[in-house]
Amino acid sequence: MINLEDPKKFRALTEQAHQVAMNMLRPISRHYDRAEHEYPKELDMLAAMIDGLSESGASEGAGAAGVRRDEAEAAKEAAQGVKNGSNLASVMSIAEMCWGDVGLLLSMPRQGLGNSAIASVADAEQQERFKGVWAAMAITEPGTGSDSANIKTTAVKDGDHYVLNGEKIFVTSGERADAVVVWATLDKTLGRAAIKSFVVEKGTPGMRVERLEHKLGIRASDTAVIIFDDCRVPAENLLGSPEIDVKQGFAGAMATFDNTRPLVASMAIGCARAALDLTKDLLEQAGVAVDYDRPAHLQHAAAAKLLQLESDWEGARLLMMQAAWMADNREPNSLEASMAKAKAGRVGSDVTLSCVELCGTVGYSEAELLEKWSRDSKILDIFEGTQQIQQLIVARRVLGLSSAELK
């Protein structure tokens, strides 16, 4: 029988995350939205607490998780039965944190998207070497957005180093992070299969932050343009195997997204939940109560709209949970990760904007955080693969077609 309840083992973790969101993130949310590019120093203490929980083993999922496909390990875990592990714990706790503030969550030290890439692709030695490193992830380039396979940044082997040349844009935490996981091609003529990821540590000669972007939302998070000009990176910083496997193609690099897309979905889930909770309270204060025991068409139009938004939100949440659960149980989840990202991204934007509309002038003004959440949520439908790209991936998986057959 399918159990749709949150796993009991993670309820304490999610409650802790909710308390942090309510008592630490919400009170400083508006300040760092207005003070764009100012580092939220309050997060240093919070990051230290999370590191302590992770090291003690008291909070599974406090750090970034991966989506490894080790067959021997998978067989061993399969014999032990169903597992609710760190991927599921991560999406649940991140959703709670984003109930507080998405931009501040994205600014958390040592919790960058690059950390998920390391967790997914790095070998055992690299896992240990980069333990505790705060890693951003640099994929997008000018003219290369959703089509990650069209990356033009090059990595040329030179002795025991690789020399990187190129430009990366929209790098979350690109200035603040300790290192950046950079996607680059070893050989443009070999296409997708030659794309590898490299850990480039802060201060490496040849890497520079060109500028920080001014943005519509998630202003607490820095978003950088980074230039690589003959940047020499140690060969051992190439994540995973340096061999170009044409048969495997882009699968090795893309495995990272199987992990990060459910995480982005969870951010949208948390932000949308915040908007729904506040809107429900504001409607009740205005005399519009939602009755869950009566059909929507017999209730106030605003209450009926809220019921529809909540049902859409629940569908997105369940897709997110499924994608994370599959990763925990070593099941291929590329389809489900894209479905979760597509649904949650669209629902997040729809919910937050609808909540602004339902609350009228209160929703549109800075008297409440509703307008901020509507600005923050839009990026969650764009980065880590746009809505359109996710739908394309889903269509390819469902129809069994390759990227060449369905563009």
User: What's the CATH code of the domain at 86?
Assistant: 1.10.540
3-state secondary structure 164-199: EEEEEEEEECCCCCCEEEEEEECCHHHHHHHEEEEE
Asked if the structure places residue 243 within a domain, the reply is no
**Helix, strand, coil content of the chain in percent (nearest 5):** 55, 15, 30
Asked if the structure places residue 406 within a domain, the reply is no
Asked if the structure places residue 261 within a domain, the reply is yes
pLDDT class of 406 with cuts at 50, 70, 90: very high
316-340 mean pLDDT:
94
159 and 54: one domain?
no
100 and 195: one domain?
no
Q: Which of 129, 162, 183 is the last residue of a domain?
A: 129
211: three-class secondary structure by DSSP: strand
Answer yes or no: is pLDDT of 306 > 60.
yes
Q: Is 213 a catalytic residue?
A: no
CA distance 294 to 285: 20
Most confident of 47-51, 57-61, 65-69, 222-226: 222-226
In the chain, what percentage of residues exceed pLDDT 70? Answer: 89
CB 393 within 8 A of CB 337: no
Range of the domain at 53: 8-129
Asked if the structure places residue 3 within a domain, the reply is no
Asked if the structure places residue 329 within a domain, the reply is yes
CA distance 151 to 143: 9
Answer yes or no: is pLDDT of 126 > 50.
yes
Compute CA distances 65 → 24, 221, 259, whole Å: 24, 21, 8
149 and 74: one domain?
no
84 and 184: one domain?
no
The pLDDT, as a whole number, for residue 6 is 86
Any idea what the CATH number is for the domain that residue 373 is in?
A: 1.20.140.10
- Indicate the pairing of strand 135-138 with strand 195-201: unpaired
Asked if the structure places residue 278 within a domain, the reply is yes
Asked if the structure places residue 2 within a domain, the reply is no
Read off φ and ψ for residue 130, nearest 5 degrees: -100, 15
Confidence (pTM): 0.91
Within the chain, what is the greatest distance between any pair of CA atoms?
73
103 and 159: one domain?
no
112-116, 185-189, 263-267, 309-313: least confidently modelled range: 112-116
The pLDDT, as a whole number, for residue 390 is 94
227 and 260: one domain?
no
Any idea what the CATH number is for the domain that residue 189 is in?
A: 2.40.110.10
CA distance 159 to 269: 47
Answer yes or no: is pLDDT of 60 > 60.
no
144-154 mean pLDDT:
82
The pLDDT, as a whole number, for residue 251 is 55
- The 10 Å Cβ neighbour count of residue 64 is 24
CA distance 113 to 177: 11
162, two tokens: 């690789």
Q: Which of 237, 263, 292 is the last residue of a domain?
A: 237
352 and 382: one domain?
yes
- From the candidates 175, 336, 371, 384, which is the catalytic residue? 384
118 and 144: one domain?
no
268 and 373: one domain?
yes
271 and 394: one domain?
yes
Asked if the structure places residue 244 within a domain, the reply is no
Q: Which of 170, 203, 237 is the last residue of a domain?
A: 237
62 and 167: one domain?
no
217 and 335: one domain?
no
CB 239 within 8 A of CB 122: yes
Domain count, the chain: 3
CA distance 236 to 280: 53
